[in-house]
Structure 1
Amino acid sequence: MRRALLPCLLLLSACDAQSGDAPDTDDRDPVAAAAVNDPLMSDPDLAGQNQGGAALIGGGPASAEIPPDKSSKDEIDAAKAAALQIAGGSLAAAPLPEASSGTSPLDTAVTAPAIATALKIGSPACAAQLDYTALWAAKLSAPFEVYPRGHVGQSAGSDAKGCRLRVIGFVTPVAVEDVIAFYAARGKAAGFTAMRSKAGDDDLLQGTRGAASYAVAARLRDDRMSEVTLATSGI
């Protein structure tokens, strides 16, 4: 019986060898190919490639393309509708600028401490204590939260004693005029003063309530998105 089966087994082996040619890889998805060919994480020398916690620890630059900011009419309408609801159903027009200058204090301010100092929000000593984390944007207090559906970029803050500061940067497809009107109305309803000015490319709105203060700087980018910097102290 064994001698009878041996020729059959040899024949099957030959067939397998002929059909086992390497597949043509020209049509393979390069992303899938890279994933399949990547060395296994069980190799201790390669364990550092695991970026499972990269979003939490800042494990280096992003390797994927960042999706573009939404700017469709539907997105604009949804953001403005949400802002109107937050404001209680009505929004007065933004106050007219009371002053103007050729340059903005933010033209040379890049870091959060520099921005807070340039906008005169909090003291320089407090600004030096700012640290970066996305949680600060979520910890903004009313009435100066991020404009509805705004996409947050920079997010810094401090809750040190006597130094309650926030410096948040975000973009929105809503027009600068609408953004300024929203924060002017929100601030006024909460008892803050409001003074609007033009400074270079920035539209500035600033106000105080006792020891608390805020500043909103908004400018129109080349892609028609509004770039907004929001800074608060003691709020």
Structure 2
Amino acid sequence: MRLANKVMVMLGPVSALAALTGCGRGEPPPPPPRDPVIAAVLQEPLMTDPDLVGLSQEGALFTLAGPASAPIPLIDRTDDELAKVRAGIVRLVGADAQPAPDPAPAMTGTEPGATLADTAARLVRELRRDPRCAVSAGRSAIWGASLPEAVPLLPRGHLIDGAGHDLLGCRLRAVTFLTALPPREVIDVYWNLAGVARLSPRHDAGQDYARIFASGGEAGFAAYVRTRADGTEVTLVTVGL
């Protein structure tokens, strides 16, 4: 009898649940409305690159932002985010960094190309390297993780695209990324990084871009900076660093 009572006590919640689920078996409730942004993200292919599994964006040096097909904001441009970016820059170049001089007019043939490969080829020519240095660059945003330590992405920058190779004795990296930092501050950062790396920098500007070009022998980098509606776009190419 005691056993029967125990069984009834144990079955009580189950019976009650069954009773609740049996009620109102009419038309099923309508599905909740779907957020179009969330739906677009869920329909995109899963990222399965083993080098990126488990990557957290929180506190990341840079984030892999796109190109995204879903309409997701790429960067945070609040005052709080800018403060975090600037704090990271102080760690890169120090608190006594100097502003870049006013730009000189850009020389013909030094403007950014239509693609990362074009821009890399122009830098190779400017450094008077073997033209083959700019070919066979494998395209992947993950190249942004292996930029030279002396010429990194800006802290908390959002990587859009990348290319690079380690062939022919010519280590090449080319990336495009977005930052919340204003263009003039981006120029100042790369001007100072050139000095830290003991490269000779030059600041020039074209119609819709400004550039820091820095070289030392056959090695160097170019950072092209443009204003976009959603932030500051930077195309950074390094050769031989």
Normalised TM-score (structure 2): 0.71
Residue 6 of structure 1 corresponds to none
Q: 1:17 to 1:154 in 2, by over 3 A?
A: closer
The one of 22, 29, 44 equivalent to 2:27 is 22
How far apart in 1 are the matches of 2:47 and 2:139? 18
1:59-138 alignment runs, 5 A limit: 64-100=70-106, 105-106=111-112, 109-119=113-123, 120=125, 123-138=130-145
Aligned-pair identity (%): 29
How far apart in 2 are the matches of 1:63 and 1:24? 32
1:152 CA drift (Å): 0.7
Q: 1:128 to 1:184 in 2, by over 3 A?
A: same
Residue 230 of structure 1 corresponds to 236
Contact conserved, 1:103 with 1:201, CA < 8 A, in 2?
A: no
How far apart in 2 are the matches of 1:149 and 1:116? 24
Normalised TM-score (structure 1): 0.73
1:1-235 alignment runs, 5 A limit: 19-25=24-30, 27-30=31-34, 51-53=45-47, 64-100=70-106, 105-106=111-112, 109-119=113-123, 120=125, 123-223=130-230, 225-235=231-241
1:168 CA drift (Å): 0.7
1:133 CA drift (Å): 1.7
Q: Partner amino acid for 2:141?
A: A
Q: Rg larger in 1 or in 2? A: 1
Report the 3-state secondary structure (helix = DSSP H, G, I; strand = E; otherwise coil) of the residue aligned with 1:76: helix
How far apart in 1 are the matches of 2:69 and 2:109? 36
Q: 1:155 to 1:210 in 2, by over 3 A?
A: same
How far apart in 2 are the matches of 1:177 and 1:62? 27
How far apart in 2 are the matches of 1:102 and 1:129? 25
How far apart in 2 are the matches of 1:169 and 1:154? 5
Report the 3-state secondary structure (helix = DSSP H, G, I; strand = E; otherwise coil) of the residue aligned with 1:195: strand
Contact conserved, 1:156 with 1:168, CA < 8 A, in 2?
A: yes
1:52 CA drift (Å): 4.4
